[in-house]
Structure 1
Amino acid sequence: MEITLKGKTALVTGANRGIGAHMAESLARAGANVAFHTRKPRDEVNDTAERLAKECGVKTGVVVADLSDPQAIDDMFEQFDGQFEQIDILINNAGFENAHALEDMPREDWLALMNVNLNAPFYCSQHAARRMKKAGQGGVIINVQSVHDEVVRKGVAHYSVAKAGLKTLTRAAAVEWGEYGIRVVGLSPGAIGTDINQEDNERLGIDNMNSWIPLGFIGETKDVAGVTVFLCSEQARYITGTTLYVDGAFMHNVMRYDMRPDHDLGV
């Protein structure tokens, strides 16, 4: 089954590296025009956008904004409007994580993370939905969440809370905007190998990580990007208001020991 997004235009936040970069590239290779968002001007993002435009025969562009600032988000969509005629797909991917014990967490860190991981997707979704409604052709909004929207982890309470809020926003937006043909879907990755989390994975031990994941291996960015293309396509036209976990069943593997022998079970 060939999936095509030809004629569609997408905006991907946090497209300068990691999952976001692979998402943006995969959308372009599926035929979509793509706007790459980055927090700061980066030559490598411009180069990637130009290269994909030539290789894929699509239109690409770069928009720059610090998503912690609502005014910057407004300005980013003005940048987008100056380069593209419409928006059919919004990928709310940008986010960050840091670690603090809950009782010691600085207020400024709590607020900073909420601004980028929860508030920014809300503001971006508002902008996209208004444009999609005006065009009258529907659209797709993908909120990149995390397994931590369900499974909390010590030291990142603010991250888990933000992602759980984003999961609820996904459901609420799907209900409100469904009548306009706008689908809103959550995509929650588990352990994915990126340059951002490589150090953490190595600290925990790659072999340990692999053993904790029922499928037996840490995922790759392509595993998330491929699902993204599908969710943005016509093949997923009846999927909205739900969250898809791309984690190799990692979030379900809490009991990490084998079943007791039969004689211990009273059978």
Structure 2
Amino acid sequence: MSAEPSPTEPPAAFTPRRIIVTGGDSGIGKATAVALAEHGRQVGITWHTDADGAARTAEEVQHAGAEAHVRHLDLTDPTSGTAVVDELAATMGGVDTLVMCSGTGTAELLLDLSYERWREVVAVDLDGAFCCLQAAARHMVQAGDGGRIVAITSVHEHAPKVGSAPYDAAKGGLGLLVKTAALELAEYGITANTVAPGEIATPMTGQEDESALVGKERAGIPVARPGDAREVAAVVAFLCGPDAGYVNGASWVVDGGMLQMGPMAGAALTSGDWRRP
């Protein structure tokens, strides 16, 4: 009588412990830093213009039981991303999770756009993300314990918007950069994914960090409202956690169904106002 086959051992579960969240001073970055904060974890938080916002994020992270480390980061100099990631990794004793939330955009038609403004947006949204990703990945590979990389892109990773040429190009490029990282880093136990939000109630969309569940009608979105930053952060937290080990090279759209509205929205338009940002 043959012996019973032994059950296959599942892969070792990954748990984020030393986390960097860029753009953690407000909006999705803040919500993500708080969502990932637990006892025994360290969270590095970067900010560009809002030092007070970063301090408030750090307070919430510490209240959740994690240790917070705050650093200034200006990705108009993309290579500063490398330096800040390296510094935070040294402070925390390594880095195993990177969530990139830093970003900027435009509202200018392509014909009116200066090259300088083009370069500023692409430098922050793509070049800076590359430098942060590469630096963090090097630390993860050297440590040999696996890791998680998540980039916040946008629905405009997948579909363009008038007045957003450099933003669209950078977010589309970032999506493919992360897919390439997913291929190259998987052998080291590191996954790389993107989260592509639609309209989220944050300062970047001209709204306050507030609940978007009531009082904001959006006829062009099937769920009829903007998203809340915490709804995006919940998806990020899943991708960084132990249950997402087989998710790699994916783009998770969090947009209330906005991208599904193409034919319906196109048929409903009654003017050419969409041609202007």
- The interval holding the TM-score normalised by the smaller chain is 0.7 to 0.9
- Describe the SS at the equivalent of 1:245: strand
C-alpha displacement at 1:42, in angstroms?
1.3
Q: Could you tell me which amino acid in structure 2 is paired with residue 221 of structure 1?
A: A
Q: Could you tell me which amino acid in structure 2 is paired with residue 142 of structure 1?
A: V
Does 1:62 find its partner at 2:104?
A: no
Q: Which runs of 5+ in 2 are unaligned?
A: 1-12, 208-214, 268-277
1:145 corresponds in structure 2 to 153
1:48 corresponds in structure 2 to 57
Q: Could you tell me which amino acid in structure 2 is paired with residue 17 of structure 1?
A: S
Distance 2:75 2:238 in 1: 26
Q: Could you tell me which amino acid in structure 1 is paired with residue 51 of structure 2?
A: R
Q: Residue 51 and residue 167 in structure 1: after superposition, are their counterparts in 2 closer, same or farther (change >3 A)?
A: closer
2:103 corresponds in structure 1 to 95
2:4 corresponds in structure 1 to none
C-alpha displacement at 1:195, in angstroms?
2.5
Report matched runs for 1:81-120 at 5 Å.
Answer: 81-120=89-128
CA contact (8 A) 1:28 1:34 kept: yes
Q: How many pairs does the alignment contain?
A: 249
Q: Which runs of 4+ in 1 moved over 3 A?
A: 4-7, 29-32
C-alpha displacement at 1:6, in angstroms?
6.0
- Describe the SS at the equivalent of 1:134: helix
Does 1:171 find its partner at 2:179?
A: yes
Q: TM-score, normalised by structure 2?
A: 0.83
C-alpha displacement at 1:47, in angstroms?
4.3
Distance 2:164 2:265 in 1: 26
Q: Residue 192 and residue 254 in structure 1: after superposition, are their counterparts in 2 closer, same or farther (change >3 A)?
A: same
Does 1:77 find its partner at 2:88?
A: no
Q: Which runs of 5+ in 1 are unaligned?
A: 200-204, 260-267
The correspondence for 1:26, drawn from 11, 17, 35, is: 35
Q: Which has the larger helix fraction?
A: 1
Q: TM-score, normalised by structure 1?
A: 0.86
CA RMSD of aligned residues (A): 2.4
Report matched runs for 1:1-267 at 5 Å.
Answer: 8-29=17-38, 32-40=41-49, 42-53=51-62, 55-198=63-206, 206-207=216-217, 210-256=218-264
Q: Could you tell me which amino acid in structure 1 is paired with residue 107 of structure 2?
A: A
CA contact (8 A) 1:7 1:31 kept: no
- Describe the SS at the equivalent of 1:255: helix
